[in-house]
Homo-oligomer: A and B are copies of this chain.
């Protein structure tokens, strides 16, 4: 062993953050890790025991990762909903779809771990619900302003979320992103545009 790490004393937030960062990096990398705690602490240049100072189990870390990942989405849609400027809903929808697909497809392993994990967190856990709720709120406002046809916003948001995921998964496994973007664009137009 070469890199004799010397005790790095950090503030709890900093260390916790470094651990989460390391976990995201590994999750994202798609490597086939079996010993996650060991791998993450190595990646974060910390001792194995340090992990358990901040997380009482690997599950708890997954929750933290999930929260950090979803926060991004929630924030974006929240800003949208709270904005007082006039919004070009269709341009925004297209942009968000493209951005989401691109982001998910890029960090392949991460999203699989965060969303497809068959761990203690069931399908549709809290974090995911928040995201869907944020999307629903935005759609709701778009309907109020007449940009979208009235449909159940919660269900529509859930479907949208799921479609974007499909697209990203497909793109991540090698399908052409342009075709998918076109189809998604076409789907949203036909589905949500007012007559």
**A interface residue numbers (CB < 8 A to B):** 112-113, 116-118, 122-124, 151-152, 155-156, 158-159, 161-163, 165-167, 169-170, 172-173, 179-180, 183, 186-187, 190-191
Within 8 Å CB of A191, what residues of B? Answer: 186-187, 190-191
CB distance from A130 to the nearest CB of B (A): 15
CB distance from A95 to the nearest CB of B (A): 20
**From A188, which residue of chain B is reached at the shortest CB distance?**
B191
Within 8 Å CB of A112, what residues of B? Answer: 118, 122-123
Within 8 Å CB of A151, what residues of B? Answer: 183, 186
Q: How far is the CA of A122 from the CA of B174 in the complex (A)?
A: 13
Q: How far is the CA of A118 from the CA of B179 in the complex (A)?
A: 27
Within 8 Å CB of A123, what residues of B? Answer: 112, 116, 169, 172-173
Within 8 Å CB of A156, what residues of B? Answer: 183
Q: How far is the CA of A187 from the CA of B162 in the complex (A)?
A: 14
Within 8 Å CB of A170, what residues of B? Answer: 124, 155, 158
